[in-house]
């Protein structure tokens, strides 16, 4: 089977995943995209340039995995350590050819206008990056002032704050453009969830005419995995390890090359929903209480929500949705009997358990090879893991351990 997905759908899916980092406020990237596009339209840009600004907005925070970092850059107008996520984001985008054009502006989306001028930045790039900075700060102010209320009520205060930064943080011409564009009530009302969904659907309906190849999808999934794995030092190599293990088990179970590659992609993507789990829960150095456990347990359902509408990813979405289901229906979130699930979903589950057991976690050291094999054999003996899959982890122990620790050999972003 050949996976085919339109790049436009992939960008929207990636943006959905990134917006999860806002936890309770999940529209930051999209609102920034809508505002940048509206300003671009007002400036008379061509439709493809407006769409480029929209994409920039949707993906500008691709370097943010941590809910704490997200909180800092939203609540502080001039966050002193903001450049790190710009550099990470630009490196991630540059690593994927179809999105590489977005990297330069993302790298400079917290750079003050005066510095862009000093550094003699290319005028077109300086314009894009500074517009992105401006509307990003508008949303930061709107989120802080309006909390869950309407930004419209705070429009005069937000417009005044932006005006005060003309000639320092922002290009005075861009400030004028923003003030003209945001003079209407409609500009602010469009940022509410319902109209924003419509706006995005309109953009979504334009296909880019670029169908991603299997190699592109592997690369894009790798980007997702880096974002998720960067969230916590304890899961730094988890997704890549699960991907390699899933591919290894698929090969041992006799699945064909296409299924092996699909499972590898599923492994890279399976924990995307964890982006919505607050850092302090993932990094807690002790047992989680019931409430914290409920929050963590939402993640496989969130992954499913993100991937299920992506054309070509229907099977991958199902397998990732089920990676915490267990035999007898004792897992989550659907409480399905895992022994009745397709082999691919069961492989992903076993790969996930094995990788997690050999990795250090905040509350315990990772198991060594012999301990991990004993652990898995015990699960199989209790009917909680498929004996035939566990047998591969035991008979090819070195290979399984090398796959589980594949992340150690990964180049940093
Ligand atoms: Fe942002
Ligand atoms: Fe998981
Ligand atoms: Fe996992």
The pLDDT tens digits for 72-87 are 888 888 888 899 999 9
As a whole number of Å, the end-to-end CA separation of the chain is 31
Residue 180 has pLDDT above 70, yes or no: yes
Angle at alpha carbon of residue 173, lines to 171 and 175, rounded to 5°:
70
Q: What percent of the chain has pLDDT over 90?
A: 65
DSSP per-residue letters across 25-36: ---HHHHHHHHH
| Cis peptide leading into residue 248 (ω within 30°) | no
How far is the centre of ligand 1, averaged over its atoms, from the C-alpha of 330 (Å)? 39
How far is the centre of ligand 2, averaged over its atoms, from the C-alpha of 345 (Å)? 12
**What CATH architecture does domain 5-204 belong to?**
Orthogonal Bundle (1.10)
Q: What ranges do the domains of the chain cover?
A: 5-204, 213-409
How far is the centre of ligand 1, averaged over its atoms, from the C-alpha of 29 (Å)? 7
The pLDDT tens digits for 379-389 are 999 999 999 99
How far is the centre of ligand 2, averaged over its atoms, from the C-alpha of 382 (Å)? 21
How far is the centre of ligand 1, averaged over its atoms, from the C-alpha of 61 (Å)? 5
Can 5-204 and 213-409 be said to share one CATH topology?
yes
- What's the whole-number mean pLDDT along residues 87-111? 95
Start-end of H helices in 102-168: 103-107, 113-118, 123-146, 155-164
How far is the centre of ligand 2, averaged over its atoms, from the C-alpha of 408 (Å)? 20
Confidence of residue 148 (pLDDT cuts 50, 70, 90): low
| pTM for this model (two decimals) | 0.89
| pLDDT recorded at residue 412 | 72
How far is the centre of ligand 3, averaged over its atoms, from the C-alpha of 238 (Å)? 7
How far is the centre of ligand 1, averaged over its atoms, from the C-alpha of 306 (Å)? 20
CATH number of 213-409: 1.10.3210.10
Residue 147 has pLDDT above 80, yes or no: no
- Give CA–CA dist 72/81, Å, rounded: 9
Q: For residue 277, which ligand has an atom nearest its CA? A: 2
């Amino acid at each position: 089977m050949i996976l085919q997905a339109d790049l436009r759908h992939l960008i929207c899916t990636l943006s959905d995943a990134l917006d999860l980092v806002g936890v309770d406020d999940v529209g930051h990237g999209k609102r920034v995209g809508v505002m940048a596009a509206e300003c671009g339209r007002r400036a008379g840009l061509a439709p493809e340039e407006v769409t480029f600004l929209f994409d920039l907005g949707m993906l500008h925070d691709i370097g943010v995995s941590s809910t704490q970092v997200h909180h800092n850059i939203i609540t502080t107008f001039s966050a002193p350590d903001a450049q790190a996520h710009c550099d990470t984001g630009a490196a991630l985008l540059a690593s994927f050819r179809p999105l590489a054009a977005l990297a330069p502006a993302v790298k400079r989306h917290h750079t003050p206008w005066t510095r862009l001028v000093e550094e003699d930045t290319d005028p077109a790039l300086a314009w894009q990056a500074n517009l992105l900075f401006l509307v990003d700060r508008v949303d930061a102010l709107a989120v802080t002032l309006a909390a869950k209320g309407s930004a419209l009520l705070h429009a005069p205060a937000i417009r005044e704050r932006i005006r005060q930064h003309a000639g320092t943080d922002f290009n005075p011409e861009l400030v004028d453009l923003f003030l003209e564009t945001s003079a209407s009530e409609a500009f602010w009302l469009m940022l509410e969830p319902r109209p924003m969904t419509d706006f995005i659907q309109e953009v979504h309906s334009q296909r880019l005419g670029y169908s991603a190849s299997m190699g592109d999808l592997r690369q894009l999934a790798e980007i997702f995995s880096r974002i998720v794995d960067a969230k916590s030092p304890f899961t730094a190599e988890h997704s890549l390890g699960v991907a390699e293990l899933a591919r290894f088990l698929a090969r041992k179970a006799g699945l064909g090359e296409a299924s092996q590659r699909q499972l590898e992609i599923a492994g890279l993507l399976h924990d995307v929903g964890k982006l919505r789990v607050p850092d302090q829960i993932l990094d807690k150095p002790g047992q989680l209480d019931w409430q914290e456990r409920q929050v963590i347990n939402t993640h496989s359902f969130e992954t499913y929500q993100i991937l299920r509408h992506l054309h070509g990813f229907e099977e991958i979405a199902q397998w990732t949705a089920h990676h915490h289901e267990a035999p007898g229906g004792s897992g989550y979130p659907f409480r399905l009997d895992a022994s009745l699930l397709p082999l691919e979903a069961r492989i992903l589950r076993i790969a996930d358990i094995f990788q997690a057991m050999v990795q250090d976690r905040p509350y315990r050291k990772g198991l060594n090879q012999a301990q991990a094999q004993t652990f898995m054999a015990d699960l199989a003996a209790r009917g909680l893991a498929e004996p035939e899959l566990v047998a591969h982890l035991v008979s090819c122990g070195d290979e399984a351990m090398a796959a589980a620790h594949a992340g150690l050999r990964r180049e940093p972003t």
